Amino acid sequence: MPQIRPITDLRNTNEISELCHSKDEPIFITKNGYGDLVVMSIETYEREMALADVYKKLAMAEKQVQDGELLDGQEVLAKLRKKYGR
């Protein structure tokens, strides 16, 4: 369940920091009842960015398949073996 806090809670930085680390997910901050900010730990941020990168690469790979940009697996392995001598 996402944590939603009013912007006034940011005055207590220790509490917000502990909450971010204990929940391991973003904390949503509201201002006048509307979404305004997202606060998260560095670990959560890095995990989310890595996941977004994976999704981006998967989307690129799917587009390459749709566009017919395929490589023959045997040819690729042969080139790699030739290049790296294995």
Please say whether the beta carbons of 5 and 30 come within 8 A: yes
- Which pair of structure tokens corresponds to residue 29? 């901050």
Q: Which structural domain range is residue 22 located in?
A: 1-40
3-state secondary structure of 22: helix
Domain count across the chain: 2
Mean pLDDT score of the chain: 94
Residues 20 and 55 in one domain: no
Question: Where residue 62 falls among pLDDT bands split at 50, 70, 90?
Answer: very high
Query: Structure pTM?
Result: 0.71
Residues 63 and 84 in one domain: yes
Residues 23 and 49 in one domain: no
- How do residues 23-53 score in pLDDT, each as one tens digit? 989 999 999 999 999 999 999 999 999 999 9
Residues 48 and 35 in one domain: no
